[in-house]
Amino acid sequence: MGPARLLRMYESPRTAHTHLLTPAELAEIRALLDHAFDGDFAEEDWEHTLGGVHALVRDPDGLLVGHGSVVMRRARHRGRSYRVGYVEGVAVHSGHRRRGIGGGLMEALEQIVERAYVFGALSASPEGAGLYMSRGWRLWPGRLEALGPDGAVPFPDEEDTTYLWGTVPGSGEPGALAFDWRDGDVF
């Protein structure tokens, strides 16, 4: 049975802004993320997941089995600042993986990025990179920086984990892609 057929066993992804989610739904999302990341989902990671549009997938019994969100970030490239849809908190419950849920979540999130942002970005673990690349996300080929409180901070260790959806204007020209600063993991 292919992933598209398996996904049909689940609800289509529901999208909702953080402010439309109930406290119970937010608690479900947080519990799923803690489970999916084996307890390695810090409070800062949770904070980064909030404030944007969430995609949620439930199984036929109503259990939340998949989540991802798109939040707005700013990125500077070649002297211009861009509105970026940054994907956060993508997770599928361990008992429901390899059934097309991740692809369904990403399709919903990609539509949000395409309609509301100049381009999309995310930081992928080695385990997650295959999903993103199979959907057309491309590894950013240049330098990465963050605009910290004291100026630009290079992040060379993130240069092989940051993927983009869509086209960064001027991306064929050299120069760093510099994201806004945030506490915890910047990328």
Does 123 reside within a domain? yes
Does 9 reside within a domain? yes
Rg of the chain's alpha carbons, rounded to an integer?
A: 16
Q: Report the 10 Å Cβ neighbour count for 105.
A: 26
Does 185 reside within a domain? no
Mean pLDDT of the 174-182 span:
90
First-to-last alpha carbon distance for the chain, in angstroms, is: 35
d(CA 30, CA 122): 19
Kindly state the tokens that stand for 128: 């997650």
34: helix, strand or coil: helix
Does 186 reside within a domain? no
Amino acid identity for residue 170 in this structure? G
Residue with tokens 């089995």: 65
Does 42 reside within a domain? yes
| Per-chain mean pLDDT for the chain | 92
Do 68 and 55 touch, CB atoms closer than 8 A?
yes
d(CA 127, CA 161): 11
Show the domain range for 52: 3-180
Q: What pLDDT, on a 0 to 100 scale, did the predictor assign at position 2?
A: 46
Amino acid identity for residue 169 in this structure? P
Does 112 reside within a domain? yes
Does 153 reside within a domain? yes
Count how many domains the chain has: 1
The DSSP output letter for 66 is: E
Does 74 reside within a domain? yes
pLDDT digits (tens, 9 = 90+) for 61-115: 999 999 999 999 999 999 999 999 999 999 999 889 888 999 999 999 999 999 9
Farthest-apart Cα atoms in the chain, separation = 53
Instruction: Output 8 or 55, whichever has higher pLDDT.
Output: 55
d(CA 93, CA 125): 16
Do 26 and 122 touch, CB atoms closer than 8 A?
no
The gap from C-alpha 165 to its chain's centroid, in whole angstroms, comes to 11
For residue 65, what is the domain's CATH number?
3.40.630.30
The gap from C-alpha 175 to its chain's centroid, in whole angstroms, comes to 24
